[in-house]
Amino acid sequence: MFNADYIAVFLIGLFGGFSHCIGMCGGFVMTYTLKLSENTPQGNSNFWQKLYPHLLYNSGRVLTYTLLGELFGLLGSTLGFMSAFKGFQGGLMLFAGMIMIFMGLDFAGFFPSLSPNYFPGVNKFKNLVRNMLNRVRPGNIFGLGFVLGFLPCGLVYAVAAKAAATQSVIGGGLTMLIFGLGTFPAMVITGVGAHLLSGKLRNRLYKIAAILVIILGVITVAKSLKAFGIMVPHTEKVTHECCE
C-alpha cells in the first residue's frame, strides 16, 4: 500500500543528512577515515577500496536505526494491546505527533537545545566510541557504525516517535530503515571526502528537514483526531488521498 509518510521520512533523512548529520557526525566520520588510513595503509587504493569501509559503517548505523524502529514499534503495539479502548491508538498517535512538532520547532531554533551531556551514560558512551575509533579497521568498522547508531540525536528521536505510532514491529522497523537510507548519501559522501558543503547551505537544508518533521507531525496529529472521530476537513482529505 502506498504511504506518503515513508516518502516524508526519507526526505527528512535526506535533508537532515546533508545538514544535521554532517554537523553532528561528520567529525566521527572524518576521524575514523583518518584512523583507517593510519591503521591499515592501503597505498594507491582504488575508488571501491576507499568507498567500501564507508558502506560498511553506514550499513551498521542503519541496522541500529532499524532495530530501534522495531523496538519502538513493538512498544507502541504492546501499549495498544494493553488498552481495550479504541481511542488509545489515537492517543498514541497524538503523543507521537506532538513530539515530532516539538522536535521540528526545536530544530528550527524556536527552543534551546539540550546538551547531549544532559542524558545519563553519555560519558561512558563517549569512552566506548573513543576506544573503538582508536582500533578501527575495515574488519570492525561495521561495529563502529552500529554503536554510533545509538548516538543521542533529536532527529532520530523524532522519527522514532513516528515509528512508535505505527504500533507495528514491521512498520516501526521500516520507518527507521527508510529514514536511515535517507541519511546514507550524505554520510558516504562525507566519508569519501566530498563533504565541503557551505555552512549557509547546510543551514537551509536543516530548515527544510525541520519543516518536514513538523509537517509529518501535523499529519500524525490529524490521523489521531480521525481515530477519535474528529474530522479535520482539509488535512483529512490530504492524508486520505496521499496515505491510504
Q: What pLDDT is attached to residue 81? A: 53
**Res 244: pLDDT:** 47
Res 123 pLDDT > 50: yes
Q: How far is CA 165 from CA 98, 122, 158, 232, in A?
A: 11, 27, 11, 19
Can you tell me the distance from the alpha carbon of 141 to that of 138, in angstroms, rounded to the nearest whole number?
5
Quote the mean pLDDT of the chain: 75
Q: In the numeric block, which cell numbers belong to residue 25?
A: 557526525
Q: Say which residue, 66 or 199, is predicted with more confidence.
A: 66
- Which residues, including other chains, have CB under 8 Å from residue 115's CB and lie 6 or more apart? none
More confident residue, 122 or 50: 50
Q: Is a pLDDT exceeding 50 seen at residue 150?
A: yes
Contact, 156 vs 47, CB < 8 A?
Answer: no
Contact 120, 32 (CB under 8 A): no
Domain ranges in the chain are 4-39+53-113+125-243
Count of CB atoms within 10 A of residue 146's CB? 17
For the residues 61-72, what does the mean pLDDT come to? 94
Determine which of 28-32, 114-118, 131-135 has the lowest per-residue pLDDT on average. Answer: 114-118
The span from the CA of 138 to the CA of 126, in Å, is 21
- Is the Cα dihedral 210, 105, 166, 223 positive or negative? negative
What is this structure's pTM?
0.70
CA pair distance 210, 155, nearest whole angstrom = 9
199 near 101, Cβ under 8 Å?
no
Secondary structure E strands in the chain: none
Q: DSSP secondary structure string, 43-92?
A: SS--HHHHHHHHHHHHHHHHHHHHHHHHHHHHHHHHHHHH---THHHHHH
Instruction: Give me 239's grid cell.
Output: 492524508
CB atoms within 10 A of CB 49: 12
Cα distance from N-terminal residue to C-terminal residue, the chain? 7
